[in-house]
């Protein structure tokens, strides 16, 4: 298969080529003129200043708003039932917004708005959606809670408890008042200069400012308890131990032990063992080869205690929801049973931890190597 083309006479070839080139040039000029006029038109309608130099809204932006508004209107109308010239629709809205809705739909003419309350003349079983009124402080915690699950209508909101438990549990893990002070400094700066930082590259993190502030604050507190400043123990209140008896592990004659000040002649019946460090962990433990064993033991026990308290709060919240909605089976077989199992196992372990901490041991009844 092939194609057949008519070849003009030799005398006419130059004139045909010339006419074709003129047509191409004319078409190119028309295209360039059209593109220029289109660009000029778009520039004119997008110019946000009038002849006097005053700012005005961009026409393109107005068109975009108009299209978005029309699309939203038709989307809402498509969800309603149409009866001749009337649209019937149902919606959920906060009671405090009722007057705003009435004022808004009043612009559409004789529109009737009726508030239908659940259980008052209607037999539907539709569960209302959950609505939480948030602000700059509660926004982040509500988003974190919603990530795990949105509470049902009229259920207790766990985000209220998360405002304290989330940053505090972070601080239990991140306890260092050196690093924590950096987070606290950043959070304080964002809180104090939030208005001035709007419109700057730092604006996206402004919603986290109160979260960062509390995380830094609690990290400084737990860091003081752990006595860690950039992972280094600080000697703020001296020590209850005689650090002159400390030797290095590289010393073959080393028998590392810590003795309270005045107890170097161990065991001495006249030795005073009543020294209690004022706050947090005694810095002398940073010189001991048993530092990790000692600190990890404390942190593990504190984490278990706080974890059991935290889980107990969650079960109690579920119990309050069960009582409010009259779910007695959930209250008996989930809440009560869960508390019995949790407190019977881990609660008993916490009780043993407190018992061990409060038990006074005779320091002369144990071997020196155990201290």
Predicted confidence (pLDDT) per residue in 303-319, tens digit = 889 989 999 999 999 99
Task: Quote the pLDDT of residue 252.
Answer: 57
Full-prediction pTM beyond 0.85? Answer: no
Contacts of 109 (CB under 8 A, 6+ apart): none
Instruction: Name the E strands within the chain.
Output: 81-83, 86-88
Measured on CA atoms in the order 14, 19, 22, 27, is the torsion positive or negative? negative
Greatest mean pLDDT range, 267-276, 295-304, 305-314: 305-314
- Dihedral through CA 329, CA 333, CA 338, CA 339, nearest 10? 80
> Nearest-CA neighbor of 233 among 242, 221, 225?
225
Task: Quote the pLDDT of residue 237.
Answer: 76
Average pLDDT over residues 342-354: 90
pLDDT of 122 strictly over 90: no
Greatest mean pLDDT range, 22-26, 127-131, 182-186: 182-186
Task: Quote the pLDDT of residue 71.
Answer: 95
Q: How many CA atoms within 13 Å lie on the side-chain side of 102?
A: 10
Looking at per-residue pLDDT, the higher value among 141 and 51 belongs to 141
User: What are the two backbone dihedrals, phi and then psi, of residue 324, each rounded to the nearest 5 degrees?
Assistant: -65, -40
Angstrom CA distances, 366 to 219, 230, 264, 362, stand at 36, 35, 16, 8
Average pLDDT over residues 123-150: 86
Angstrom CA distances, 360 to 210, 236, 351, stand at 42, 26, 16
Share above pLDDT 70 across residues of the chain, in percent, rounded to a whole number: 78
Q: Is 238 left (phi over 0), alpha (psi -120 to 50) or beta?
A: left
pLDDT of 287 strictly over 80: no
Q: Where are the domains of the chain?
A: 60-108, 139-226, 241-271, 288-361
The DSSP element (H or E) to which 181 belongs, if any, is: helix 179-192
**C-alpha to C-alpha distance for 142 and 311, rounded to whole angstroms:** 19
């Amino acid at each position: 298969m092939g194609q057949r083309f008519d070849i003009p006479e030799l005398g006419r070839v130059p004139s045909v080529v010339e006419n074709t080139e003129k047509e191409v040039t004319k078409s190119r000029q028309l295209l360039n003129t059209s593109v220029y006029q289109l660009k000029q038109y778009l520039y004119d309608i997008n110019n946000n200043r009038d002849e006097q130099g005053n700012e005005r809204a961009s026409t393109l932006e107005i068109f975009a708003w108009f299209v978005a508004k029309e699309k939203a209107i038709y989307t809402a109308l498509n969800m309603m039932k149409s009866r001749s010239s009337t649209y019937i629709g149902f919606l959920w809205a906060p009671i405090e917004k009722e007057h705003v809705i009435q004022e808004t739909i009043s612009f559409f003419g004789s529109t009737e708005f009726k508030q239908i309350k659940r259980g008052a003349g209607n037999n539907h079983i539709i569960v209302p959606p959950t609505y939480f009124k948030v602000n700059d402080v509660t926004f982040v915690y509500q988003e974190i809670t919603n990530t795990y699950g949105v509470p049902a209508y009229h259920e207790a909101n766990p985000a209220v408890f998360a405002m304290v438990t989330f940053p505090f549990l972070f601080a239990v893990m991140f306890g260092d008042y050196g690093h924590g002070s950096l987070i606290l400094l950043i959070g304080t700066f964002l809180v104090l200069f939030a208005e001035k930082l709007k419109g700057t590259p730092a604006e996206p993190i402004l919603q986290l400012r109160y979260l960062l502030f509390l995380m830094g604050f609690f990290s400084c507190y737990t860091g003081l308890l752990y006595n860690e400043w950039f992972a280094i123990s600080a000697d703020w209140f001296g020590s209850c131990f005689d650090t002159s008896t400390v030797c290095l592990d590289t010393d073959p004659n080393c028998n590392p032990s810590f003795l309270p000040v005045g107890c170097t002649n161990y065991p001495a019946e006249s030795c005073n063992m009543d020294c209690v460090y004022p706050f947090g962990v005694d810095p002398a433990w940073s010189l001991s080869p048993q530092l990790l064993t000692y600190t990890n033991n404390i942190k593990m026990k504190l984490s278990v205690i706080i974890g059991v308290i935290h889980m107990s709060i969650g079960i109690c919240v579920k119990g309050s929801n069960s009582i409010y909605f009259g779910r007695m089976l959930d209250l008996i077989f989930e809440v009560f049973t869960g508390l019995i199992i949790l407190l019977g196992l881990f609660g008993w372990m916490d009780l043993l931890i407190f018992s061990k901490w409060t038990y006074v041991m005779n320091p002369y009844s144990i071997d020196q190597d155990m201290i």
